Amino acid sequence: MTTATEPTAGRTSGPAPLVELEQVSKYYGNVRALEGVSLQARAGEITCVLGDNGAGKSTLIKIISGLHGHDAGSFRIDGEETRLAGPRAALDRGIATVHQDLAVVPLMPVWRNFFLGSEPTRGRGPLRRMDVEFMRRTAHAELLRMGIDLRDVDQPIGTLSGGERQCVAIARAVYFGARVLILDEPTAALGVKQSGVVLKYVAAARDAGLAVVFITHNPHHAYLVGDRFVLLKRGTMAGLHTRDAITLDELTRQMAGGDELDDLRHQLERPEPDVPRGAAAADEERRRP
């Protein structure tokens, strides 16, 4: 099994990664948010980043999405050393981020949220207006292409379930040309059925040729769709594995703390009650035929 200390850990034959981080670190003053983290995102594959709260997942998202710059290491897009100037620069390079809280307006219809901030228009000058029919038609067609069959794209997006809203955001990113899709805990606040719906569309994005970076704290969800797994702990890498190199049980064990969990189990075990020697002898005498 490969280990996270190897610079090339997790590399596989095939197309070059669209996004690659190698030994990337990020510091906020004296606080170490990330140190020595490596990750690859390839077209048609899902890279899962797992870790508890405070593990460094949010910082990693901010670096890939262009919100924050890295302080050390290498960040490459299409093999080119890169330092993004901001989220718009990331979008221009085909990197889209779907955040957990979603940037939607609940009372606006689905089609309006689908094009929010990028509305197509028709006409010129004072006659210029939004092309509503195009937006309705395109939103319905693109959602259907991802396998999302909504009865009415005019319904407020707030009436959709949490899983359906996540799926609309994924379809939107695909339509606007994303090549790399970062999903920030898309199943965190969802039940089992809704999580299954989202995971189906995560797989659909992969099958559409996108490189997906799936941030999660749930190893079961990760193992259902993941091709490789990056484990973070307190800002450092606790593991880097391909799917064929680790089982779900081992992934869950490492995610849960591994050896630290075993130590805790030993500490919490109840000691055997002390039985007075005389009482033990009397009890043994009673059991004799």
What's the pLDDT at 14? 61
Beta bridge partner(s), residue 184: 215
Tens of each residue's pLDDT in the chain, 289 residues = 344 434 344 455 567 899 999 999 999 888 889 999 999 999 999 999 998 888 889 899 999 999 999 999 999 999 999 899 888 899 999 999 988 777 788 899 999 999 988 888 888 888 888 889 999 999 999 888 877 888 889 999 988 888 888 888 888 988 998 999 999 988 887 888 888 888 998 998 999 899 999 999 899 999 999 999 999 998 898 889 999 999 999 998 888 766 555 665 566 666 666 655 565 556 666 666 6
CB atoms within 10 A of CB 162: 18
Task: Please provide the DSSP assignment of 211-258 as one string.
Answer: EEEEEES-HHHHHHH-SEEEEEETTEEEEEEEGGG--HHHHHHHHHTT
Q: What is the pLDDT of residue 9?
A: 42
Number of residues assigned to the chain: 289
pTM above 0.95, yes or no: no
Q: Report the pLDDT value the prediction gives residue 117, as an integer from 0 to 100.
A: 83
Residues with Cβ within 8 Å of residue 289, at least 6 apart in sequence:
none
pLDDT value at position 191?
82
Q: Which domains does the chain have, with CATH numbers?
A: 19-287 (3.40.50.300)
Distance in angstroms (rounded) separating the CA atoms of residues 125 and 46: 45
Name the token pair of 115. 């094009």
Beta sheet of 228-233, edge-to-edge order = 95-98, 180-184, 211-216, 46-50, 228-233, 236-242
Nearest partner of 223 among 44, 48, 40, 1, judged by Cα: 48
